């Protein structure tokens, strides 16, 4: 599933080709993805895309009348192609641009979304979201105070979008390993000093993943079709049974909160 770095890489990839371009046509080939595509998306026709933002794992393409919201779901990809390029299987949505290019959403599993947010409103899917992890809004104080009294695993806590957005499974595993925190440990039993180190680790691992173009595991590729390379730097994720890169002990694998978790029982406490 594309996580925050993959979505940010997609934003960076499409922006030079899509931002400031007028939309010549909107084409909906499959009207029901995770939710039905609203007819309001046709308001984009003959309007320029004034800016492209990311909020959590949503991309917002701003225009005069509102914002087109895109979510990649589990297997979605955004491609920028010449408009005359033949449509391929699982292409479900297209914006034809005045520069002769088209932005297409391809989603084999159809868990992605194409939504609409009128100007001056906040879409329900964007409400109740925590701070962006790569901004000053995410602090050790924020995590520490929200964690007090929490008895659930810290891994689940930092993956809660109401706490902080975009810390998906891959990056939660990596940040906790970098900090030496056992992912099973109760969130409320972690000190403020350790949350300070965890905050720094979250920011670092996400920033490095974006710099490397994301993490390709199964389906994710960048807007230019090239894979991300952060998977080559993964210390524990997907490495169950292999030696810990720090101490050599076998990396443990366990289900935590319905997600595969990878950690070192010696290095993480």
In this structure, the number of other CB atoms found within 10 A of the CB of residue 73 comes to 19
Confirm whether 155 is a catalytic residue: no
* 70 strand-pairing partners: 59, 114
Torsion of CA 226, 232, 234, 237, to 10 degrees: 70
Catalytic residue list contains 266: no
Cα separation of 33 and 92, whole Å?
A: 8
Overall residue count recorded for the chain in this entry: 269
Query: Is 5 one of the catalytic residues?
Result: no
Strand 58-62 and strand 113-118: pairing? unpaired
145 is known to lie in a ligand binding site: no
d(CA 68, CA 162): 23
Map residue 77 onto helix, strand or coil.
strand
List the catalytic residue out of 208, 231, 259, 266. Answer: 259
Query: Any binding-site annotation on 110?
Result: no
233 is catalytic: no
Across 200-228, b (16+ Cβ under 10 Å) vs e yields ebbeebbeebbebbbbbbebbbbbeeeeb
Q: Return the beta strands (E) in the chain as ranges.
A: 23-28, 51-55, 58-62, 66-71, 77-82, 91-97, 101-106, 113-118, 252-256, 259-263
The reply, when asked if residue 90 is annotated as ligand binding, is yes
Annotated active-site residue in 11, 54, 55, 57: 57
Task: Enumerate the active-site residues.
Answer: 2-3, 57, 259
Q: Residues within the annotated binding site?
A: 90, 109, 150
Q: Residues within the annotated binding site for DNA?
A: 90, 109, 150
């Amino acid at each position: 599933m594309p996580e925050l770095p993959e979505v940010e890489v997609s934003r960076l990839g499409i922006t030079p080709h899509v931002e400031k371009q007028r939309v010549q046509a909107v084409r909906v080939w499959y009207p029901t993805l995770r939710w039905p595509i609203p007819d309001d998306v046709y308001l984009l026709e003959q309007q320029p895309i004034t800016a492209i933002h990311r909020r959590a794992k949503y991309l917002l393409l701003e225009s005069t009348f509102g914002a087109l919201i895109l979510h990649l779901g589990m297997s979605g990809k955004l491609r920028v192609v010449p408009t005359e390029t033949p449509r391929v299987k699982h292409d479900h949505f297209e914006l034809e641009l005045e520069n002769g290019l088209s932005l297409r959403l391809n989603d084999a599993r159809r868990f992605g979304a194409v939504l609409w947010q009128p100007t001056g409103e906040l879409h329900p899917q964007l409400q109740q979201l925590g701070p962006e992890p790569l901004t000053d809004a995410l602090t050790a104080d924020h995590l520490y105070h929200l964690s007090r009294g929490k008895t659930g695993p810290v891994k689940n806590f930092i993956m809660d979008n109401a706490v902080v957005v975009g810390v998906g499974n891959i990056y939660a595993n990596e940040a906790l390993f970098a900090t030496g925190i056992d992912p099973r440990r109760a969130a409320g039993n972690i000190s403020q000093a350790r949350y300070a180190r965890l905050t720094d680790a979250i920011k670092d691992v996400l920033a490095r993943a974006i710099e490397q173009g994301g993490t390709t595991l199964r389906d994710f590729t960048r807007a230019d079709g090239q894979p991300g390379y952060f998977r080559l730097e993964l210390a524990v994720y997907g490495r169950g049974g292999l030696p810990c890169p720090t101490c050599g002990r076998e990396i443990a694998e366990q289900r935590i909160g319905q997600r595969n978790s990878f950690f070192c029982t010696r290095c993480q406490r």
